Amino acid sequence: MKSALQSVLAVIVIAVVFTSCSGSGPKEARFIPKSSSAVIVLDPGAMQDKLTKGGISIDTLLSRVFKNDSIDSKDKEKLNEFRTNAGMNWQSQFFFFVSQKGNPSTPEGGTTVMNLMGGLTDAAKFEAWLKKQDQIENKNIVKEKDYAYLVAEDNTIISWSEKNVIVTIYNFSQQPSYDTVTMQFKVPEKKNVEAEMKEQVKTYYTQAKDASMASVKEFTGMFKEKADGYAFTSSNSSLSAMSMLPVSLPKVEELLKDNYSASTLSFEDGRIVAKSNTFTNPLVSNILKEYAGPTVNLSMIERYPSDKINGIVLASFNPEIFGGFLKQLEVEGLVNGMMEKTGFSVQDLYKSLKGEIAVVVSDLGSSQPEPQERKDEKAMTVKKPMGKMILNAPVGDKASFTKLMDKATELGYFTKNGSTYKSGELMKVLGMYMQADDKNLVIASDSLTYTQYMSGNNQAVINTETLNRFKGKSTVFYFDIANTIGGFYGNGGDYNQSMKTAKETFKDIIGTSDNFDGKSIKGTFEIRMQNEKQNSLVTLTSLITDIAVDMRVAARRQKEMEEKMFPGGFPAIIRTN
C-alpha cells in the first residue's frame, strides 16, 4: 500500500516541477485553515516557461532520469499516464500546507497534518485514474455533498472536489503517563484517529472564509509579487501548545499570536532568490521599535586567518531586547527569584555580551589520518574531517560578564589566570579552544587559529561584492558551496556524480536581514550559480536528474544485495525491526 501512495506523491512532485503554465491566483486559500503553521506554493507554469526558454522539454528530462530497461520503462509509463490522463490541472498552483495540534509527548497526544493540494480539470477522469492504481482500486470511495474521498491508508486520505484534489497525511502520536503511586506506566486511551482525520478533511471543503488563509491579508498579499514559488509561516499553531506548559505565563499568547512570515521564490539568471517579510503583532512590533539594534560589525571577520572561508554568520542586536520581552511577559521578577542563589540576575545574563556575534568556518575537508594513528587497514582508508573555526562575542557589561565567568570557573568549566579565562577540561575533550578577557569571548577550533585571529596581522579573503552586501544588515549568512563540496568530493559512495554536478552548479549562498522598519523585517536569501547567464532553474535540472539517477541506481544496488543475501526474502525478525 505504501509503495502505491508513495508513487502517487512522487509523481505529483516531479510533475509540478516540469509541467504547464501559470495559475490564476490563490483562490485555493479558502481550503487552507488559518491555523496552518506553514504553506508552500509552487507555480509549475512559471517554471515550465523558463525551462522551455532554456531549451528543456519534459521528454528531455524524462530521458535523463529513466533508462531503457524494463523497470525504468514501467515507471516512465506510469508518470506519463499521470501527466496526460489523470484529469490534473497543470495550469494551477500546487499548495503544501502543514498544521500541528497538541503535544505528541503527552498522554493526550499531538497531531501533525500534512497536505498537498493541486487542481483538477476533470474530477471523473481523476477518479478513474485513481481506481486503476495498485491496492487503491478496491478502496471504498465516499461521496459527500461538496467532495469525495477514499482512505488510502490508516493515516492517509485522498479527497477531491470538482476543481481540486488534496492528499492528506494525518500523524497522531501520544506517550503513556507514569503513575508514581503504582510505579507503572498508564497506557493512554486509544483515539479514533480515522474519524478525526475524516473530520479534518471535511473542514477544508466546508470552512468559512474567516477560518481560512483567504482571510489573512499577509498571506494573500504576497501573491501580488509574481514569483515561481511562495512560502508562508504563522505562529498561531503554537498557541495550542501553551496549555501544555506547567506554568501559565501572562501575555505569552498575546506575544505569539498573529506573527507571520511571507516569502517569494524566483529562479533568475544565475541565481535563485528568496525575499521575505516578517510581520509581527502590535506588542512584538513595539518591543522591536523600542530596542532597535545596530548593524553587523564587519571588522570581526576581516582579520580571519584564511583564504578558504566556507561559511560566515554575523549578527548584531540590542541585548536589552531580552529584558523587554521578559517585562512584557511579566516574569522578570520570577526569573530573578529563581536565579537568586546563583549570585547573578537575568540582567547579568543578557548584559554580559555586547550584542555582536561572528562565526567563521574555513578549510573544511577531509584528510588521511597520520601514520602513527593508523591502527588497522580500515583506519588507512577512512578519511577524517578537518577545518578551522572562530566564534567571537565581544563583552558588554564587564561586571556582569565577570560574575558569569567566575561562576563557570567555580564549576570547573574554565580556568582563570588574572583577568583571562581559558578552556577547562570539558572543552578540551570536545576539541575546542576558548579564551576570554574583558573585551572578547572567543571560541576557536584550536589555539593556533585563535592566536592568528587575535594577532590582527591576517587578512581574510572575502569577495568585495559580498562584503558590500553585508553592510547595514542586522544578520548575515554566507556559505561557499563549491569550495565546501570540493573539500569532500571524491570520497566515494553512491552519489559521486551528484556531488560533482552540485560543485559545477552552485557557487555560494548569501542571506541577509534588516532591522525592523516599523512594518516588517525584510530579508533576502540568494543561491548563486556558477553559470551566471543561464536561468537557475534550467541549470538546476541537471543536478535534479543526476540525483534522481543516483537514487535509482543506489536503490537497485541495495535491492540486488538483499536478494543475494536473502533469496527467499527478508526473515520476519529483520522485517519487523
Could you read off the pLDDT tens digit of each residue along the chain, which spans 577 residues?
444 444 445 545 555 544 433 333 489 999 999 999 999 999 888 888 888 888 887 777 666 666 655 566 777 788 888 888 889 998 889 999 999 888 777 778 889 999 999 999 999 999 999 988 887 777 899 999 999 999 998 899 999 999 999 999 999 988 887 777 777 787 777 888 899 999 999 999 999 999 999 999 999 999 999 999 999 999 988 776 666 666 667 688 889 999 999 999 999 999 999 999 999 999 999 999 999 999 999 999 999 999 999 999 999 999 999 999 999 888 888 888 888 888 889 999 999 999 999 999 999 986 655 555 555 544 444 455 679 999 999 999 999 999 999 999 998 899 999 999 999 887 788 888 999 999 999 999 999 999 999 998 988 989 889 999 999 999 999 999 999 988 876 655 556 677 888 888 999 999 999 999 999 999 999 999 999 999 999 888 877 777 777 776 777 777 777 777 777 665 554 444 4
Helices and strands, number each (H, E), in the chain:
22, 23
Place of cell 547567464: 533
Q: What are the distances in angstroms from CA 354 to CA 28, 394, 420, 462, 567?
A: 47, 6, 18, 25, 65
pTM to 2 decimal places: 0.81
As a whole number of angstroms, the distance between CA 28 and CA 171 comes to 23
As a whole number of angstroms, the distance between CA 8 and CA 125 comes to 15
Residue 176, C-alpha cell as written in the block = 503513556
As a whole number of angstroms, the distance between CA 293 and CA 288 comes to 8
Q: Is 240 exposed, middle or buried (0-12, 13-18, 19+ CB in 10 A)?
A: middle
394 phi/psi in degrees, rounded to 5? -60, 145
Report the phi/psi class of residue 490: left, alpha or beta, with left for phi > 0 and alpha for psi in -120 to 50: left
Element (H, E) at 179: strand 177-179
Closest Cα partner for 526 from 476, 486, 468?
A: 476
As a whole number of angstroms, the distance between CA 252 and CA 245 comes to 11
User: Under a CB-based contact definition with an 8 Å cutoff, are residues 501 and 542 in contact?
Assistant: yes
Going 246 to 251 to 252 to 257, the CA torsion angle's sign is positive
Tell me the one-letter amino acid at 421: Y
223 phi/psi in degrees, rounded to 5? -80, -5
189 phi/psi in degrees, rounded to 5? -65, 130
pLDDT of 68: 57
Closest Cα partner for 88 from 184, 158, 4?
A: 158
As a whole number of angstroms, the distance between CA 1 and CA 13 comes to 19
71 alpha-carbon distance from chain centroid: 33
Place of cell 511577559: 329
Q: What does the H/E/C string look like for 427-470?
A: HHHCCCEEEECCCEEEEECCHHHHHHHHHCCCCCCCCHHHHHHH
Instruction: Give residues with Cβ within 8 angstroms of 159, minimum separation 6.
Output: 147, 148, 149, 165, 166, 168, 201, 204, 205
User: Under a CB-based contact definition with an 8 Å cutoff, are residues 392 and 333 in contact?
Assistant: no
Beta strands in 66-108 (DSSP E): 88-89, 94-103
User: What letters, b where the CB count within 10 A reaches 16 and e where it falls short, cover 440-472?
Assistant: ebbbbbeeebbebbbeeeeebebeeebbebbee
Closest Cα partner for 225 from 192, 262, 259?
A: 262
pLDDT of 188: 79
Report, in angstroms and rounded to the nearest whole number, the Rg of the chain calculated over CA atoms.
28
As a whole number of angstroms, the distance between CA 357 and CA 296 comes to 8
Instruction: Give residues with Cβ within 8 angstroms of 431, minimum separation 6.
Output: 445
Tell me the one-letter amino acid at 286: N
As a whole number of angstroms, the distance between CA 329 and CA 384 comes to 47
295 phi/psi in degrees, rounded to 5? -110, 170
Q: What are the distances in angstroms from CA 490 to CA 369, 483, 497?
A: 16, 13, 10
As a whole number of angstroms, the distance between CA 413 and CA 430 comes to 12
Q: What are the distances in angstroms from CA 536 to CA 273, 473, 509, 539, 541?
A: 10, 26, 13, 5, 9
